[in-house]
Each structure stands twice: as C-alpha cells, then as structure tokens.
C-alpha cells in the first residue's frame, strides 16, 4: 500500500463521485492515515473527530474486504473510538468480522448523497432575503458556529477557534444567511467547491424559526448561486431524516448515492 495518492486514485473515486465527494477532497489534504493500492482500495483518516473513509470497488471480493478490515485493525482504527464511512457491502462484512473478534460494530447513520442541477423555486413564501456573509458579520457567524456544533456534538471548539473559522468562511464569500424582515439572521448555508462539484453544508436554522421554510428558501438560493458559478451542487443528508430529505427533493435535489457510517 502506498501513502501517496495520484491521478489513479482520483479516477477511482470518480466512479462514486457523489457518495465519496468528501473523500476526494480530503485525500488531497494532510491526513493522519492515507493508504492506497491505486486500484481497488483507498483508506484515509484526517484525524479526530472525523470518520475514517474507506473506498472499495462495487465488485470487491471477500478477501479484499478482509484486507481492509486487517489494515484498519493494524492501524488501531477498530478501538471503539473511530467511525467509518463506507459502502453497505463493506459495512456488513466489518460488522460480522468484528463480531468474530468479540468487537461490536453497528450502523450509526444512513446517508444519502444528492445533486441538483435544476433548482425548483419553493412553493412556500417567507419573509426576508438572502445575505452573503462578510467580515461585518463575524460576530453573528461565531454564534451560529457555536450553536451548530453544540447541537450536532461534533468538532466543538473554543470561542477563539470559532472566530478564526468565521473569519476564514467570510473571506471565501460562499457563506450565506437568511435575514428576516426584522433584520435578524435566522439560518445559514454555505457551498464548498471541489473540482467541478460544490457541496452545500452548514445548513442550520435557529430553533425558534424552524419548520417555517426559511432553510428551504436559503438552500434553494445557495444552490442556484453554486450552479450559476459553474458547479454541480450536491449535499449529504441523514437518510433517516424523512422531513428534511423531502424538503431537499421539493427544491430539485435528486438522490444519487447511498452509504453508511458504522462505529
């Protein structure tokens, strides 16, 4: 196994360009672990608290799944502290194989990957408008980041770290708020390009304004902005959140792939 990626690996991930969009982005950055045979297996891990990504071919054989399991265990990834984003076939193998070693693994999240080349204007009308985040909005963005990470309970940071992240986000010009008629920022969304695609993330609505269609209208607007900038807009969702997935589908998002998280 090699610890350097090249164009062969990017070509492999193109086969699963939606489900492994994030993996395509992170293999080009600094990783705690990066292993590839450039043909049938890629494993990468940026570091805590993020998941391990393992890519395998759709026609992978049992011995290849065993090889992925063995490498994961030899590198300390099956210690109960790590999660894995993988295809369902590999997940089934890992769960059964771990049981043979008196280890317990289970699916913790089912994920859908969507794209949207033809955004559909939401039927729901809401007050307010979209607002691109600038350096003047740093304080508000820090508050949003803290609320978001407290709620999802992932990647929590100090106020100073959130402020640094907010400053970086504002500089990109790709983060947006929905501001209501009273001038209050009530929802957020940003798009992050990699190659010819752009993932929408940081979709967050303040609790008092949920189920009022603000996020739906904001995601629609940001989707249009990303598409008009020349990207294919895409996003990941928790497959078990039926209501939010239905919301995305109403504004034109099309299901393109499925994968799961185990841990």
Q: Residue 13: which pLDDT band, with cuts at 50, 70 and 90?
A: very high
Least confident of 68-82, 87-101, 164-178, 236-250: 236-250
Q: Is the pTM of this model over 0.85?
A: yes
| pLDDT above 80: residue 10 | yes
Name the CATH architecture for the domain at 129-256: 3-Layer(aba) Sandwich (3.40)
pLDDT (0 to 100) of residue 169 = 94
Mean pLDDT over 31-56 rounds to 95
- Among the listed residues 59, 39, 108, 88, the one whose alpha carbon sits nearest the alpha carbon of residue 257: 88
Top-ranked range on mean pLDDT: pick from 3-12, 143-152, 241-250? 3-12
Question: In the numeric block, which tokens belong to residue 69?
Answer: 């399991």
Looking at the chain, the domain(s) classified CATH 3.40.630.30 span 129-256
Q: How many helices (H) and strands (E) does the chain have?
A: 8, 11
Query: What's the burial of 255, exposed, middle or buried (CB within 10 Å: 0-12/13-18/19+)?
Result: middle
Phi, psi of 29, deg, nearest 5 = -110, -175
* 197-224 pLDDT, tens digit each: 999 999 999 999 999 999 999 999 999 9
């Amino acid at each position: 196994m090699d610890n350097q990626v090249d164009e062969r690996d990017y070509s492999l991930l193109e086969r699963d360009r939606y489900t492994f969009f994030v993996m395509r982005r992170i293999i080009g950055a600094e990783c705690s672990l990066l292993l590839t045979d450039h043909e049938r297996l890629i494993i990468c891990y940026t570091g805590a608290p993020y998941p391990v990504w393992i890519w395998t071919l759709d026609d992978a054989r049992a011995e290849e799944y065993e090889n992925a399991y063995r490498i994961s265990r030899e590198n300390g990834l099956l210690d109960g502290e790590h999660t894995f984003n993988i295809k369902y076939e590999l997940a089934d193998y890992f769960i059964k194989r771990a049981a043979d070693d008196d280890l317990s693994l289970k699916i913790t999240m089912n994920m859908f990957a969507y794209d949207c080349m033809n955004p559909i204007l939401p039927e729901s009308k809401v007050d307010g408008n979209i607002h691109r985040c600038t350096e003047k909005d740093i304080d508000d963005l820090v508050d949003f980041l803290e609320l978001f990470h407290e709620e999802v309970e992932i990647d929590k940071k100090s106020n100073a770290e959130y402020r640094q992240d907010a400053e970086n986000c504002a500089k990109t010009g790709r983060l947006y708020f929905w501001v209501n008629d009273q001038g209050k920022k009530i929802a957020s969304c940003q798009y992050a390009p990699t190659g010819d695609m752009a993932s929408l993330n940081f979709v967050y609505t303040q609790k008092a304004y949920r189920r009022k269609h603000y996020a739906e209208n904001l995601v629609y607007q940001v989707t249009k902005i990303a598409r008009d900038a020349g990207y294919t807009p895409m996003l990941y969702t928790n497959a078990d959140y039926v209501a939010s997935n239905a919301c995305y589908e109403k504004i034109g998002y099309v299901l393109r792939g499925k994968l799961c998280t185990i841990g």
